[in-house]
Structure formats: C-alpha cells, structure tokens
Structure 1
Amino acid sequence: MENATVINQMPRIGEPAPDFEAVTTTGPLKLSEYNKDSWVILFSHPADFTPVCTTEMSAFALEKDFFEQRNTKLLGLSIDSIHSHLAWVNNVKNNTDVYFHFPIIADLDMSVAKLYGMLHDKESTTAAVRAVFFIDPKGMVRLMMYYPLNVGRNMEEIKRALVALQTSDECKCALPINWVPGEKAIVPPPKTLDEMDARLKSTEYELVDFYLAKKDI
C-alpha cells in the first residue's frame, strides 16, 4: 500500500517542481540547477531501443533550435541504465544521423519516475508512461501531459503549449482554444459593473459579450 502511494505521487500545476539529482547521458544533474533562469521540458519514455520512443526522442532532437530560441532545455528519462542510454543514442545517430544532444536520466531505481507520477500500474510498474512536464524559470510546474505507452505524443502541441505559456506570461492574458501565435488573446473579464459598462462601450476589443472579449497581442 505504501509503495502504491509513492508510485501515484505526482506534482500539481502551480506548485514547485520536485527537485532531484540524477545520472544522465551528459553527466550528473540537479534539476534546480539545470532549471535556473530557463524553462525545462521534462519528458519520459517507456524504454530505449523501442520504435515509438525512437520517433519521439528524434522529434525532440530535431527541434533543438526551436527550444533554444525559446530559452527551453530538454530533459529525457526512462528506467534504463546509463549504458543502455549511451548505446541507444549512438545507435540512432549511426542509423539516422539524429543526435540526442539533451541529457537523458538513467532512472534505474525509479526514484524520479515515482516522484513525478510517471509509473501507472495499470500500464506498467517498470516502465514510465509518456509524461511531459513544463517547468518555468521559477521552478514551477506549469503544464502536464500524460500519454499511454502505445500512443506517441504530438510535437506540434508541445511546441504550441510552450509558446502559449510564454506568451500568456509576457502579455498577462489568457488564450482561447487552438490558439497559435498571431491570433488574438482573451481579455480578463470585468469584475465590477463600472468595468462591464466600460467594456461594452469600448472600441479597443473584438467584443462577443462583456465577459468574452479578444485583443491583438
């Protein structure tokens, strides 16, 4: 029972990302130091040398410039040894010329996987599901995604979500469904009658109703 509680532990949006130290393909790493002054996308895959995981890790690697331009570091994880990770990185590079430049955590004792709720016992107790955590430069968890073992992630949605989070922070606004850069943002709704009256008379916004107004950003 105690073990199940640990396995199902997971962070919450808006709370500090649990800190940890780990062995990775680029050397020892402490999350709080790696995360300093930058965003981090922490993501897990079920196992090395597997087809879906190879496509996903390759997709992250191919988007290196995108993430660097957005001050975002990548951090992978699976419950494999460092030797398995290194062999897999080398294998993929030799076969496809794609290089996994980002650190990949060797989480053999499953400590990080348990800390982040990556082990879902109905899927597997020894392989992490496909989890994604967006951590901001203040070390706060801002968004989480979970996919099952047999369905790959959507890289375009991961990129869109990152840009949306950064845009929302910068512009102090909310963003509507399917928002992509260049589209209008949602203005916070009025909180008083006077604010509502002013909103209804304003020509500054695209007004659907007093509670739903959009603006260019």
Structure 2
Amino acid sequence: MVLRINDTIPDLTVTTDLGEINLREWVGDSWAIIFSHPKDFTPVCTTEFSAVMQLANEWEARNTKVLGVSVDGVEDHKKWKVDIEAVGGAKPEFAIVADDGLEMAKAFDMLPSEYVLPDGRSPADSATVRSVFIIGPDKQVKLMMTYPMTVGRNFSEILRSLDGLQMAAKGVATPADWQPGQDVIVPTSLTTKDAETKFGIVKTVLPYLRTVAAPR
C-alpha cells in the first residue's frame, strides 16, 4: 500500500508506552500529527521529541493530538522519555508507538525498498522511518514530510503547515511563506462576486490570483 494525501489512514490498533490505541479512534474529532523515528536513544530524534513536548500548548490550542512512532519496544520508550525530559525540561505526555514489528511503518509506507527486519537493525537500516503525517478530523492524510537521518525537523514549519491546513479547511488557500494573520488566496473556482459574498473585500493581483483577509 502506498499512502497518499487524501487517503484515509489505516485502521490499526497499535501498542504504545501508554497502552493500546486504535489510530482512527485516537484521532477522533481532532487534528493529529504522527511523527516517526528510526530508533530510540538517537541524538537527532531526542532533540525532536523534546521540541514536540515544548509545543504542547500550541498543539492543544489547535485541537491537535501528537503521536510518536519508533521501532523499539515499550520499555525502551519509557527509558528514553527520561532523556527527552532531561533535554527538553519537561515530561513528555504524548504516547510513542512501539513499532518493533514495523507494522505501522509498512502501513504508512515509511520504509525503503530494502530494509532489515528487526533483529540487529541499526538506525541506518531504517533511515527513512522519519516521516511526519498531519491527519484531519476526517481521518484523511492532509500533509506528509520525510526527512533524512542527518537533518532535524523544523517543528515551527510543521506548526505553520498545520495552521495553513486548518485555514484551508475554511475554503481558501495560503501563499508561499504564509503566516497566521496574513491574507489568503481565493480559490479559482469562485467568482470574485461569490468570493466577496463569502469572504469580504477581494484584492485582484492577477486574474487568477486574488486575495482576501484570512477568515476567522
């Protein structure tokens, strides 16, 4: 299975360090972010989990749940959270999936064509298991990002992307480098008259590029 944008996430029940969860039930009526890692106790991943933890208030303000995924087991996850807390300064409250059998990695298409199963695997053997999925309340994939082992993820950009997706759900699009509070783009499917009725004053930059104040 190749997971694409607008696909519904797999109906999986997974084991985490906080107990079993069904992914679709876990998303519920919220937005959700799933972020995966090749292995516990790795340096880049530790800084990333710390960054996620430090944004706890931001996720909550956006009605968004977060879920980590790593290929190690529950006990390793619990021990690793001690290190994450030491780096980030607060206890991580989010769950981490114990994907030691790679079931979730396969279901979300996070593995390369060749990989090592699972005994003796090093982080390099599962290097592409460093992905981000933003899921909507409809349980569909809205955005995907994949990073190499050597580049830490920019969680400010992930937060901005989440804001953009939540804004787009109101019937608009966002331009390059958009930040909350800035003008947004009117879909080409709307006439200017209809856009004015729906959003207010329309600024025409080009016949196909029109902007409005971001709807609340």
Report TM bin, short chain.
Answer: 0.7 to 0.9
Kindly tell me the number of residue pairs found equivalent between the two proteins: 202
Q: Which residue of 2 aligns with 1:142?
A: 142
TM-score, length-scaled by structure 2: 0.86
Which letter maps to 2:18?
T
**Where do residues 62-211 of structure 1 align in structure 2 (5 Å cutoff)?**
62-94=54-86, 96-121=88-113, 124-126=124-126, 128-170=128-170, 172-189=171-188, 195=191, 204-211=201-208
- 8 Å contact 2:50–2:87 — kept in the other structure? no
The 3-state SS of whatever aligns with 1:134 is strand
Question: What letter is aligned with 1:175?
Answer: T
SS in 2 for 1:145: strand
Q: Which moved more, 1:77-86 or 1:10-19?
A: 10-19
Q: 2:87 and 2:194 mapped to 1: Cα distance?
A: 62
Matches of 1:213 and 1:48 in 2, distance apart? 47
Higher radius of gyration, 1 or 2: 1
- 2:33 and 2:134 in contact (8 A); partners too: yes
Which whole-Å deviations, capped at 9, do the CAs of 1:113-160 have from their partners, x for residues lacking one?
A: 011111124785445521000111110111100111111111111000
Q: Does the C-alpha gap of structure 1 residues 78 and 127 become closer, same or farther in structure 2, counting only changes over 3 Å? A: farther
Conserved in 1, the CA contact under 8 Å of 2:47 and 2:87? no
Query: Separation in 1 of the partners of 2:68 and 2:147?
Result: 15
TM-score, normalization: structure 1? Answer: 0.86
Distance in 2, matches of 1:18 and 1:165, equals: 21
Task: Mark the runs of 5 or more structure 2 residues left unpaired by the alignment.
Answer: 116-123
> How many angstroms does 1:75 deviate by?
0.5
Query: In 2 relative to 1, CA 122–156 (structure 1 residues): closer, same or farther, beyond 3 Å?
Result: farther
Measure, in 2, the Cα distance between the counterparts of 1:96 and 1:216.
37
Q: 1:213 aligns with which of 202, 210, 213?
A: 210
**AA aligned opposite 2:41:** F
Q: CA deviation at 1:91?
A: 3.1
Q: Structure 1: where are the runs of 5+ without partners?
A: 1-8
Closer, same or farther: CA 208–30 of 1 in aligned 2, 3 Å: same
Matched residue of 1:41: which SS? strand
Per the TM alignment, residue 168 of structure 1 is displaced from its structure 2 partner at its CA by: 1.2
